[in-house]
Amino acid sequence: MNEITTSNASHSPRNDTKRTYRPNSYRLKNKLSSRFTLHPSLKQKAAFTLSEVLITLGIIGVVAALTIPAIYSNYKKNLVITRLKHTYSLLNQMVKMAETVNGEAANWEYMESSPIYNYSDDYWNKYFAPYIKTIKYCDINKSDNPDIGRECTIYVYNNDGEMQPIVTRFHKYILSNGVGIVPQANPNKYENFPVAFKVDLNISKSRPRAGVDWFQFNLNTFDNKTRVTSSMVWSSGASWSPNCDKINYDSSKRNLYIESCKAGRDYKETGYGLSFCTALIECNAWQIPADYPIKF
């Protein structure tokens, strides 16, 4: 029997290389250690100092103090424009509908009732009430009480901070858009100026202001035309005629309107100054003009 001789396998140089093997536990420990060891550049963590925080808060406060009043002012201006223009549209629609039933407003009859606030109430009920939606009626016996509540009050604060009645003992009707209307019909009719509509936009929660909350429109019957407007130019015969050109291009006339609006009245204890505020806005394409004298 032949013997099978085996020789030791030859070793390659790679197999001759000595390797150092370490336990798995050592490698895991080294890996975890390197993962949670901060890089030298990150050892000093950045942070705000107290003075930097205070300076930042101060800057934010200054910016807020400068911008928030302007934002609120613009909001009130937009609210005034929206409600005033909408009320203007409602009143004109009301008059046009009334004319389809009662004929031209210039030929409407005088009422028999007296005194003037009862006359105004009867005039409203006959010619206007059927053609405009109201959601509240402010009682005549309470409307001259300044404590009755903001919605029904007929008091206003002028630009000097004085409180005065817009009208005394007249009814106030709250329309569906939240605006209050005080109709003031004149038994003498003034030829072309039979009715004034004092308008409370009900924007300010307290201290209603002339030229911000309270305005005035007038029913004009001039040159065989009927329109609810505020754009007034005094002419002979105690009549009011719409004419924005006089307001926009006659500097002396415009100054009169500005000063009358600023006072909240043109003659003491009358509400005509409210018409001047309305006219400045109406004649400026329903925008608050740059020289509007009332601050929002």
HSE, side-chain direction, 13 A CA sphere, residue 43: 4
Q: What is the spatial distance between Cα 58 and Cα 60, in angstroms, rounded to a whole number?
A: 5
Burial (0-12, 13-18, 19+ Cβ within 10 Å), 200: buried
CA pair distance 170, 196, nearest whole angstrom: 12
Tell me how far CA of residue 276 lies from CA of 4, 181, 281, in angstroms: 129, 17, 9
Per-residue confidence (pLDDT) for residue 240, from 0 to 100: 45
Distances (CA, A) of 120 to 9, 14, 103, 105, 167: 127, 117, 19, 15, 12
Between CA 12 and CA 287 the distance in angstroms is 97
State how far the Cα of 248 lies from the Cα of 254, in Å rounded to an integer.
7
Q: Is 238 left (phi over 0), alpha (psi -120 to 50) or beta?
A: left
Report how far Cα 49 is from the mean position of its chain's Cα atoms: 42
Write down the domain spans for the chain.
62-282
Strand partners, 210: 214
Q: Helix, strand, or coil here: 37?
A: coil
Residues 6+ apart with CB under 8 A from 58: none
DSSP label at residue 242? -
C-beta pairs of 74-81 under 8 Å, 24+ apart in sequence: 76/203, 76/212, 76/296, 77/288, 77/296, 79/201, 79/203, 80/201, 80/203, 80/212, 80/281, 80/288, 80/296, 81/281, 81/286, 81/287, 81/288
296 residues of the chain, pLDDT tens digit each: 444 444 454 454 555 555 555 555 555 555 545 555 555 555 555 677 888 888 888 888 888 788 877 887 889 999 999 999 999 999 999 999 999 999 888 788 777 766 777 888 888 999 999 999 999 988 766 655 666 788 888 888 887 788 887 776 788 999 989 999 999 887 765 556 678 899 999 999 888 999 999 999 988 876 667 788 886 544 444 444 456 877 888 888 889 889 888 887 644 445 567 888 999 999 899 999 999 999 88
